[in-house]
Amino acid sequence: MSGRLLLLGTNLGDKKENFERALNLLNKKGINVIKPSSIYESEPWGITDQPWFWNMVIEVDTPMLPRALLSTCLEIEKKMGRIRKQKWGERLIDIDILYFDEQIIKEKDLEIPHPGIPERIFTLMPLAEKWPGLIHPFSKRSQREMLNNLSTTSVCRKIDVVLDHDLD
């Protein structure tokens, strides 16, 4: 079982506070963090003229189905002030569904597993840290294998940040 894994990203304002607020809002909506990755800092991907990002992956426990989870994540992004100006642009918070148990969904506005997983170091590093053996259903490779075979010059590193939100 792959679990229900979300990617959080931020590159504007107080990044630590953005993560803590997002985690608290998820919790208030009945989406409980059961396993967090470390926080990783990475240079911008897609549009490079913007502040560096912080990313982390969290495994969550929720009774929500994928569509309801997506709606809740989008609602939290909006509540926190996210404005979608351009793809890959700056953001106060971004919450993506990476995996949802064993489900495969391909709809206009919802794809699970997230299609960017195999090519994004800022997603693969936290996945390989906590879920290294999780097999991607299309590539048939583990998160660790995908990370080890990733061809990129992008900088991504684990940073020593402790969130005040109770994650463990």
Q: Does 165 fall in a domain?
A: no
Low-confidence ranges of the chain (pLDDT < 50): 1, 168
Element containing residue 10 per DSSP (H, E): strand 4-10
* pLDDT attached to residue 87: 62
* pLDDT attached to residue 90: 74
Q: Does 10 fall in a domain?
A: yes
* pLDDT attached to residue 127: 98
Give the structural domain span for 9: 4-159
Element containing residue 123 per DSSP (H, E): helix 121-130
For the chain, what is the domain count? 1
